[in-house]
């Protein structure tokens, strides 16, 4: 299949995969043995519909930074710092301890937690917060974010969301869910393919491609209201929308003038600017975090590779040279790394390139990995994978040591996009 057909047909690759629309599930398939030792003691709670400590523990475990202590190995189960016997935890080589309690009922709860330094017998964090029953999982993710940032110096990403596309052979769905797969919500449904979800910088809107009228069109949908606007429906290809860092423009692929090229679309004025002008296939644009340039995929050299061009136009420069296939770029938030699909001889894996040195570190095992998307804190990459006929989502830490698989109880899911 040539590169252009692959672009056009990517939305059809799972049309005949059986799928039950259900919550995503997560299996940690590889873990880091040298992570920071942390113990999350089960929070004292009389009645709460969500086990907050279990959610916090799972978030920290799948980050790849921590080595979590099992409940069966805990010498005691204190609910506050004053009840902790620190020598017992020091004896089993724990660095940090999380204790807490949940009080309340009738739909309203008060959550207290403390992050303790076991070796120093002291408190690093202490919070009390209120939550409705409906928001308990989100509160748990927020607590995990606070702990992650305190222990690593990086912002947590557990309270974010992921967008993805599913298809059951009869209809496509664009959905969003928590980063651990819970609380899936359907954004739009179509009997024709949906493709390429892209979050606005403020997380309030999603741009995507729909074939609902048998031809490709790009829509922008507001999540709070469901209102959507068609922003591009030119003859030929309308694809791969990507938001500018200021949320005022989309970069996109259009073939209205012949071959597929990269354009920017001002969402306020509707003005188009053509950035590339070649007879090759230019697609999959993504903005640098500072908005100064755009990286895109092109086969102008014979095989798909990554190129860059100023966001105001100018010369286009190739930036990948290792491997026979490099495509579908995703920038780390700090702009220092680019995740991509890296291929050699028909084997496709996720690689991460250092922008400065141009060296590529391959972090997945293949053989059919695609659609990488960086976490907003730059600690992990989510991507779509396919093995043994099963299509699912996976997330991997940047060193490749922590792997987790996200999938439906049955069926396939693809084209993930991590919210900013």
pLDDT per residue over 42-85, tens digit each?
999 878 899 999 999 999 988 888 999 999 999 999 999 999 99
Residue range 121-133: average pLDDT? Answer: 96
User: What Cα–Cα distance (Å) separates residue 312 from each residue in 247, 264, 287?
Assistant: 16, 9, 12
Q: Looking at residue 3, what is its pLDDT?
A: 44
**Percentage of residues of the chain with pLDDT beyond 90:** 77
Q: Name 154's Cβ contacts closer than 8 Å, sequence gap at least 6.
A: 148, 377, 378, 379
Question: Domain map of the chain by residue range?
Answer: 3-28+160-418, 33-152
At residue 22, φ and ψ (nearest 5 deg) are -145, 180
Is pLDDT at 97 greater than 50 in this prediction?
yes
Instruction: Give yes or no for a contact between 192 and 211, defined as CB atoms under 8 angstroms apart.
Output: yes
pLDDT tens digits, one per residue of 264-294: 999 999 999 999 998 999 999 999 999 999 9
Residue range 184-205: average pLDDT? Answer: 95
What mean pLDDT, rounded, does the chain reach? 89
Q: Looking at residue 391, what is its pLDDT?
A: 80
Q: Let me know if the fold of 3-28+160-418 is the same as that of 33-152.
A: no
Of the candidates 141, 142, 144, 185, the residue with the CA atom closest to the CA atom of residue 162? 185
- Coil, helix or strand at residue 57: helix
pLDDT tens digits, one per residue of 312-368: 999 999 999 999 999 999 999 999 999 999 998 889 999 999 999 999 999 999 899
Residue range 222-249: average pLDDT? Answer: 97
Q: Looking at residue 297, what is its pLDDT?
A: 98
Q: Name 80's Cβ contacts closer than 8 Å, sequence gap at least 6.
A: 99, 101, 112, 114
- pTM assigned to the model: 0.88
302 confidence band (pLDDT: 50, 70, 90): very high
Please tell me the distance from the alpha carbon of residue 267 to that of residue 201, in angstroms, as a whole number. Answer: 14
- Coil, helix or strand at residue 380: strand
User: What Cα–Cα distance (Å) separates residue 36 from each residue in 72, 112, 143?
Assistant: 19, 23, 18
Instruction: Give yes or no for a contact between 161 and 181, defined as CB atoms under 8 angstroms apart.
Output: no
Neighbours of 413 (CB within 10 A): 26
31 confidence band (pLDDT: 50, 70, 90): low
**235 alpha carbon, distance to own chain's centre:** 31
| CATH class of residue range 3-28+160-418 | mainly beta
- Coil, helix or strand at residue 305: strand
User: Is the CATH number of domain 33-152 3.40.50.300?
Assistant: no
- Coil, helix or strand at residue 112: strand
Q: Which tokens belong to 325?
A: 């296939």
Q: Regarding predicted confidence, which is higher, 332 or 19? A: 332
Q: Looking at residue 22, what is its pLDDT?
A: 37
Is pLDDT at 238 greater than 80 in this prediction?
yes
Instruction: Give yes or no for a contact between 76 and 414, defined as CB atoms under 8 angstroms apart.
Output: no
Q: Which tokens belong to 372?
A: 């990488």
Residues in the chain, total: 420
Q: Looking at residue 29, what is its pLDDT?
A: 53
The one-character DSSP state at 100 is E
Of the ranges 36-50, 143-157, 290-304, which one carries the lowest mean pLDDT score?
A: 36-50
């Amino acid at each position: 299949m040539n590169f252009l057909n692959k672009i056009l047909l990517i939305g059809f690759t799972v049309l005949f995969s059986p799928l039950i629309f259900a919550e995503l599930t997560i299996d940690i398939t590889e873990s880091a043995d040298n992570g920071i030792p942390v113990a999350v003691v089960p929070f004292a709670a009389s009645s709460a519909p969500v086990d907050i400590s279990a959610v916090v523990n799972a978030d920290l475990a799948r980050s790849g930074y921590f080595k979590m202590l099992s409940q069966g190995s805990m010498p005691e189960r204190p609910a506050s710092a004053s009840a902790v016997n620190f020598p017992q935890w020091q004896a089993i080589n724990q660095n940090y301890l999380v204790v807490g309690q949940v009080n309340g009922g009738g739909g309203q709860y008060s959550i207290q937690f403390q992050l303790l330094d076991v070796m120093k017998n002291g408190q690093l964090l202490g919070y009390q917060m209120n939550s409705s029953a409906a928001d308990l999982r989100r509160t748990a993710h927020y607590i995990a974010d606070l702990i992650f940032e305190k222990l690593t110096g990086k912002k947590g990403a557990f309270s974010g969301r992921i967008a993805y596309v599913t298809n059951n052979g009869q209809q496509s769905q664009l959905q969003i869910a928590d980063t651990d797969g819970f609380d899936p919500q359907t954004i739009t449904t179509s009997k024709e393919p949906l493709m390429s979800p892209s979050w606005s910088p403020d997380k309030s809107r999603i741009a995507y491609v729909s074939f609902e009228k048998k031809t490709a069109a790009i829509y922008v949908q507001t999540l709070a209201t469901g209102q959507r606007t068609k922003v591009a429906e030119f003859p030929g290809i309308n694809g791969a929308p990507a938001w500018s860092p200021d949320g005022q423009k989309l970069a996109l692929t259009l073939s209205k003038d012949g071959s597929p090229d990269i354009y920017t679309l001002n969402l306020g004025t509707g003005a188009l600017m053509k950035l590339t002008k070649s007879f090759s296939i230019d697609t999959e644009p993504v903005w640098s975090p500072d908005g100064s340039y755009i990286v895109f995929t092109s086969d102008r050299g014979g095989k798909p590779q990554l190129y860059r061009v100023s966001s105001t136009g100018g010369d286009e420069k190739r930036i990948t040279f290792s491997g026979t296939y490099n495509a579908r770029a995703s920038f780390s938030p700090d702009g220092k790394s680019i995740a991509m699909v890296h291929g050699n001889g028909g084997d496709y894996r996720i690689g991460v390139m250092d922008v400065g040195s141009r060296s590529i570190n391959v972090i997945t095992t293949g053989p059919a990995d695609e659609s990488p998307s960086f976490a907003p804190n730059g600690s992990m990459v989510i991507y779509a994978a396919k093995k043994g006929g099963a299509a699912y989502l996976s997330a991997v830490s940047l060193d490749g040591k922590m792997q987790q698989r996200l999938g439906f109880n049955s069926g396939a899911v693809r084209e993930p996009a991590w919210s900013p």
